[in-house]
A and B are shown apart, each in its own frame.
Chain A
Amino acid sequence: MDNSNIYLPHLMEIEKITDEAPGVRTFRLKFKNEEEAEAFDFKAGQFGEYSAFGEGESTFCIASSPTRKGYIECTFRQAGRVTSGLSKLEEGATMGFRGPFGNTFPLDEWKGKSLLFVAGGIALPPMRCVIWNALDTRENFKDITIVYGAKSVNDLVYKGELEEWEKRADVNLITTVDPGGETPDWKGQVGFVPSVLEKVAPNSDNTIAIVCGPPIMIKFTFPVLEKLGFKDENVYTTLENRMKCGVGKCGRCNVGKLYVCKDGPVFTKAQLKDIPPEY
C-alpha cells in the first residue's frame, strides 16, 4: 500500500507575483524539492490545494499550461481567510501545494477540431491553462476563438496575455465588459458574455466549446450555445464545488454519486444533465 500522506503538501517557493486585477494575483510556484519537481506532472484542467501555513488550504485550478515546464501558476482573488493569508506572502516565501487532482480536458480527443472558449471574470484562469496548451500545440487545432468578459476593464485578468492573443493572427479574441464597466479608451465590446457570444455567433461545426464563469453566466450561455447548434457532448465546463480534501473523502463536493474532485472538475453539458443540480 502506498504509505505516503495525501494531506502533506509539497513545499513551493513563490518565484514571481503578478497583480492581475483588484484583489487578483498570480503566483508562479517552484518546487523546493528537486525530486518532487522531477516526479510532478499534470494535465490541463487539474487542480490543487494551495496552502498558506498558518491560515489553511484553498482550492484553485492550475492556471499554467502543462507545456510550460518547471513551474506551476495559480491565480486567485483575495476573498476569505486563506486567500488573504496568501496575499500577504512575498516573492521567495514558502507555501504549500497538494495535487494535481481531478480529471482533465481531453485535448487529445479534440485534435483536428476548432475550439471556442467562453469565460467570465475570475474564471479565465482554468481556461488559460487549456488556451496555452492549445496554442503551444497549435497545429493540432483549427480555429481558436476566445470570448472573455468581466465586470469592468479593470477586472479583466491576464491583461498582458490578452494583448498577446489579440495580436496573434491564429487567435480570434473578443473581449467585453458589462455595461458601465467600460473606460473612454475601451476598444472591446460592451455587454454581457452570453449576448456578446450570440452576436459573434461562432460556427458550431466540428467545434468544441469550453465555458467557465460564474453560475449565472453559465446559465445564460448554455442556451446560446444550443441555439448556435452546439451538441451537449461538445460543450465542456468545470464545476467549482467547495472542497477540502481534494481526494474524494471529505464529502463536500459530492453531487449525486459523483465527487467533483475525483470525477471532475471537468464535465460536459451532457454529463451535467445526469446529475442533481447541486453545483
Chain B
Amino acid sequence: MEKLYINKNGLDQWFKQMIKGGSHVYAPVQGRDKVDFKRVTELSEVASDFVQTTQSIKKAVFPKAESLFSYQKSGKNVEVQDFDALSVSDKVLWKIRPCDAAGFASLTGIFNWDYKDKPYNTRLEKTTLVSFSCSKSDSYCFCTSVNGGPGSTVGSDIQITMLPGEGALVEVLTSKGKALVELSADSFEQLSKEIDKELYLAKVPVHFALEQVKEKLSVAFDSPVWQQQSERCLGCGACAFVCPTCACFDIQEDAKGSAGRRIRCWDSCGFSLFTLHTSGHNPRPTQSTRWRQRILHKFSYMPERIQKMGCTGCGRCSRACPVDMNILEHLTSIAE
C-alpha cells in the first residue's frame, strides 16, 4: 500500500483527468431531500456534508435490471446474442463510504463463490472504488459492530481521508487504484510525515459482539423473536433495495414480438412471492419466516457458506424502513 498527500488543487486536477480519461464518475449528489449517487463531471457537484446516501451504489456492478443476453426468433429458429461486455463503460465510484466498499467484497463472494458470474465480473473489473473515510456518523451506523470501521479499507481501491485545511491523505490499495492515481501523478505529493488517520475518523461505538450474535443465531431458528420483530413488517422490500450486499435476484423475460432479452432484476427474500411454488405451496409462508431468512442469511448462512458477512453496518435498511424497523436494535436484542 502506498500513502500519498494531495491538496485541493491537486484533487481538482486529478478529478478532471478522470473525466478526461473517459471514465463515468458516480458520486453522491445533494438532491432536494436526500443525497444519492449520480453521474458527475465536476468535483463541485459532489455533496460535501452528509453521513450516508439513501441508496447504495451496488447498481454499478449489479444493476436494478440488466440484460443477460438477447435473442431473435424466426420461425422455428432462435438466434442468441451473448451479454455485451463491450457495452460496459469504465466507472469510478467516488466518495463511497467504507461500508459501501465492504459491500462489494460481499457481492463478489455471492457472485463468484462457485460459478463465475460474467455480467457481474465484467462490470466489477471496469469499476474503481474510491472510498472516503467517515468523519461523521449517525445513530443508525454500526460498522464497528460488524468488523468494519469508519476508516476500513476492505474492498476499496483507494481511500481518501480529508485532513484539516484542504488537503487529503490518499491510500492507494490496489493496482486499479494505482492506475487511477497515475492518470494525474503530478497532482500527488509524498507524505512529509506520518499521518495518523484515526485522528480524523468518526467515533462509531461498538453496539454488540458479533460472535455473540452469531452464536445466538445458530440456535434461534424456532425463537419467538422473529414473530415479535416482524409484526409490523410490510414486506415492502425497501431494506433489500437500499442494502449494499443484498443480491437476491429474479430472472424475467422482456420480449416484444419475435425479439427479446432475458433480464436479471433485483428481488427480495422479504417478498411473499419469492419462494412461492406454482402449486401454491410456500416454504416461507409468513412475514416472520421471511424476516428470519433475511437475518439468518446475512449473519449466519453467508459467513458459514462463503466466509462473507451479508451486512456492513451502513444502517440504510433502518433509515429506509417505512415502519421504523431498526436492524441495530433487533441485533442488539438478539445479542442480549
Interface residues of A (CB under 8 A from B): 1-9, 11, 51, 53-57, 79-80, 83, 90, 92-96, 214-215, 240-242, 244-245, 247-252, 254-257, 262, 276, 278-279
7 extra A-B contacts, CB within 8 A, seeds A5-B83, A7-B119 = A1-B121, A2-B116, A55-B253, A56-B251, A241-B283, A247-B114, A250-B248
A56 and B76: CB pair below 8 A?
A: no
CB atoms of A250 and B281 under 8 A apart: no
Measured in the bound complex, the distance between the Cα atoms of B252 and A80 in whole Å is 13
Contact for B293 among A53, A249, A250, A254, CB less than 8 A: A254
Instruction: State whether A3 and B262 are in contact (beta carbons under 8 Å apart), knowing that A8-B69, A11-B78, A94-B77 are contacts in the complex.
Output: no
B289 lies within 8 A of chain A by Cβ? yes
A252 near B248: Cβ-Cβ < 8 Å: yes
* Chain B positions within 8 Å of A79 at CB level: 278-279
Contact B247–A251 (Cβ < 8 Å) = yes
Q: Is B260 a contact partner of A54 (Cβ separation < 8 A)? A: yes
Alpha-carbon distance A108/B114, docked complex (angstroms): 25
Task: Flag if A240 contacts B277 (CB, 8 Å).
Answer: yes
**Do residues A251 and B248 form an inter-chain contact, with CB atoms below 8 A?**
yes
With contacts A3-B118, A5-B118, A249-B115 taken as known, whether A54 is within 8 angstroms of B297 at the C-beta atoms is no
- A/B interface sample: 25 pairs, CB < 8 A: A3-B118, A7-B119, A8-B68, A9-B80, A53-B71, A53-B73, A53-B255, A54-B253, A54-B260, A56-B252, A94-B73, A94-B77, A242-B274, A242-B277, A244-B250, A249-B111, A250-B250, A250-B267, A251-B269, A251-B274, A254-B297, A256-B301, A276-B221, A278-B275, A279-B283
1/0 contact string of B302-322 vs chain A (CB within 8 Å): 001100000000000000000
**Residues 207-251 of B at the A interface (beta carbon under 8 Å):** 221, 247-251
User: Which A residues are CB-close (under 8 A) to B252?
Assistant: 56
- Give Cα distance in the complex from A100 to B249, angstroms: 21
Task: List residues of chain B with CB within 8 A of the CB of A96.
Answer: 78
- On whether the beta carbons of A247 and B115 are closer than 8 Å, the reply is yes
B276 in the interface, Cβ–Cβ < 8 Å? Answer: yes
Q: Would you give the shortest CB distance from B149 to chain A, in whole angstroms? A: 27
A249 touches B117 (CB 8 A): yes
Main secondary structure of the interface of B (DSSP, over half): mixed
> With the chains together, A276 CA to B293 CA distance in Å?
11
**Are A244 and B251 within 8 A (Cβ)?**
yes
Q: How far is the CB of B254 from chain A (nearest CB, A)?
A: 10
Contact (Cβ within 8 A) A278 B289: yes
Give the most central of B253, B279, B289: most A CB within 10 Å: B253
Contacts of A245 in B (CB 8 A): 249, 251
In the assembled complex, B95 has its CB within 8 A of some CB on chain A: no
* Smallest CB separation, A80 vs chain B (Å): 5
Q: Which residues of B contact A247 (CB under 8 A)?
A: 114-115
Known contacts A242-B276, A249-B115, A249-B249: A54-B80 contact under CB 8 Å: no
